[in-house]
Structure 1
Amino acid sequence: MINVAVIGAIKQGKSTLINTILDYKINNKTGKYPEVAAIVKESGSTTQTPAPYSNPLLEGIVVWDMPGIDGFCHKMDEYLDKFEINSDKFDFFVVVISGEITTDAGHLIRELYKREMPFYLVRTHVDETIRKGQRLRKEERDVFNGVRDELHQQLHLLGQSFEPINGSVNIKYELYLVDGLERDRYDMKKLLEDIKNDLP
């Protein structure tokens, strides 16, 4: 059994991403997800405790919606300890952002690095960023690559403030740019394939 922890601030698209990973779709008639799917709220998450989700058709994977990291900042170690986010309980970690790497997200990445816990960094809402770029007459591919390059640069600059482990700073991550609702656009397909490859 693979346990995946999905971590991030509120209103980053975590629940929508979880439903897409588990292949839960919005019903065209009701406009809602199935009752067993992760709860998506326009006002942001109110999750107070880790919530596990699974799909009987996708054996071997449980995706956990973790409480928001908002406000923990320099106390991110307390957040990870409080919710038992560690390599003994979870097989891998998905850090969700919807724009640039915020202060809270930066402290989360720092703490994952210190604990030598590799993670997937998923940048949601890239479709909205592309639409904004197109209104400025930018090409979709240029906007997409620009977002990717900027995040790699932010992680590089962030890593310069980290203490070396075994003589070097090596942030172990994979970066994906996605539209949370679409399984076949941008990097979502690769994200799903990589998760599938991690299944037992």
Structure 2
Amino acid sequence: MTRLIIAVLALIAACSPAPPAPAEPPPPGSQTATFAGGCFWSSEKAFEHVRGVSSVVSGFAGGHVANPTYAQVVRGGTGHREAIQVTFDPRVVSYRALVDRFWRTIDPTDPDGVFCDQGPSYRTAVFATAEQRPVAEASRAAAQRALGREFVTPVLASARFWPAGPEHQDYAERNPARYEAYRIGCRRTPALQRVWGDAAVN
């Protein structure tokens, strides 16, 4: 019995996703961009392999409760949106390029969320500093012209970003089968392509 228990525990350990690696210090001169793009698992996946991006963290922004938990945000009443904070090297990738990419990861005409993820915590937004705001607004205007439809996703003033728990970080990469089941069940890819066609970023 002891050998069987040991074998089962070893199998569970082997199949369990590893926790995300500790964050490394950002390269000197790095900047951050904050986007609320519906499900933060999908937003994180859309940015984490962009050249010049050193890290993408899932979390919450725009609310009025300090250090909220995922359960609090999902339950409602905190005012937060699921968001990501992208740390990038502006010498390699510009803030404008990141905002341009963001629009094509969402349906910016939906006021209530993104595809199957609907509700206050899934509403989309760009959170921009005073310096970033003109760039974000120009990107929004250009993307709106390209799509030919009115955007409802706003550019908002920068807000405090709170990281989510470690179980939500690098989710798609650590849990590929579960993420794929979510993506297919949500019909995310065809829905995104209906909005953006070949320009969609999934």
TM-score, length-scaled by structure 2? 0.31
TM-score, length-scaled by structure 1? 0.31
Higher helix share: 2
